[in-house]
Structure 1
Amino acid sequence: MKNTKQKALIYNAVMQNRCHPTADYIYHLLKPENPGLSLATVYRNLNTFANEGRIIKIGMPNGSDRFDGTLRPHFHMVCEQCGEVLDIDLSQLDHLAEEVYTQSGFTVSSYNLVIYGTCQSCAEVKENNS
């Protein structure tokens, strides 16, 4: 029963945190109220939820994977300065798979777009320090 409670806590933490949390973030968020929780349990459950399609796992090339509870089609922007991950809706790309097929005959099974750059907050800080 404890495991089921931990699963629910981990899942709810992803769904309630729009910051695209890491496993470490969720672990430190839940650990004070759940002393029996291990980081391995958090990782295992997050990966299970992602494999089941209940959440999205965002692989970060130079950092920890992030997790997203928003399942509707959308993409992500990553700030190279502060590491913040933000959602972006690019509905004009809804037909990307069809366009790829039309141009190349390549059948797309899935795709994920991550845009890297500088968020507005970091750009403003940089501008103010110039």
Structure 2
Amino acid sequence: MEGHFIVDRHQEDYQEVIQHLKDKGIRITETRKAVIAYLIQSREHPSAEKIYQDLLPEFPSMSLATVYNNLKVLIEEGFVEEIKISNDKTTYFDFMGHEHLNIVCESCGRIADFEDGEMPDLRREVEAQTGYQVTKTQILMYGICPNCAGK
């Protein structure tokens, strides 16, 4: 069951998260493993409700509160980021196993990743200018996706 949602190339990320949580003394349940695996392999930026609905067939006793509790732990440990979009009450979640920017379509709300940004350079520049030690970077860009632009 543990590896069901894991694509081979994501195995390393999955093991890193599990080991980190174990090292911190955080209990590793089957549902926690499933939520972690789901987020790592997801090509979307799912809501808690979507994660819950997609995992429910395999974990019928799991509650939506369990999903939220697992997301809270993963956010606190820096593995998951919340994405809140203006004019949308839903919160979306993104596994941060690699540095990237998120871009949101202002028309349909689709969220895409941009992975070629030079985040380390931006971080160094911000630190040099402000004297802050940057611990986390969250940049959300808006635009019109190709599908909506073509309509």
For Structure 1 versus Structure 2, the TM-score category normalised by the shorter chain is 0.7 to 0.9
For residues 74 and 123 of structure 2, the distance between their equivalents in structure 1, rounded to whole angstroms, comes to 25
Aligned residue pairs, count: 122
Asked whether the 8 Å contact 2:99–2:119 carries over to 1, the reply is no
Secondary structure at 2:57's aligned position in 1? Answer: helix
Matched, 1:16 2:41: yes
CA distance in structure 2 between the partners assigned to 1:4 and 1:92 by the alignment: 36
Which runs of 5 or more structure 2 residues have no equivalent in the other structure? 1-27
Output one character per residue of 1:86-113: Cα deviation in whole Å (capped at 9) or x when no partner: 100243343223323444x341523311
Q: What is the aligned partner in structure 2 of residue 118 from structure 1?
A: 144
The correspondence of residues 1-130 of structure 1 with structure 2, limited to 5 A, is: 4-61=29-86, 62-103=88-129, 105-109=130-134, 110-124=136-150, 126=151
Mapped partners of 2:119, 2:57: distance in 1: 42
Shift of 1:19: 0.4
Q: What amino acid maps onto 2:141 in structure 1?
A: I
State the SS of the aligned residue for 1:33. Answer: coil
| SS across alignment from 1:86 | strand
Q: How far apart are the structure 2 equivalents of 1:64 and 1:106?
A: 35
Going from structure 1 to structure 2, the CA distance change for 1:108 and 1:116 (only over 3 Å counts) comes to farther
User: Alignment RMSD, CA only?
Assistant: 2.0
Counterpart of 2:16?
none
**Structure 1, unaligned runs of 5 or more:** none
TM-score, normalization: structure 1?
Answer: 0.80
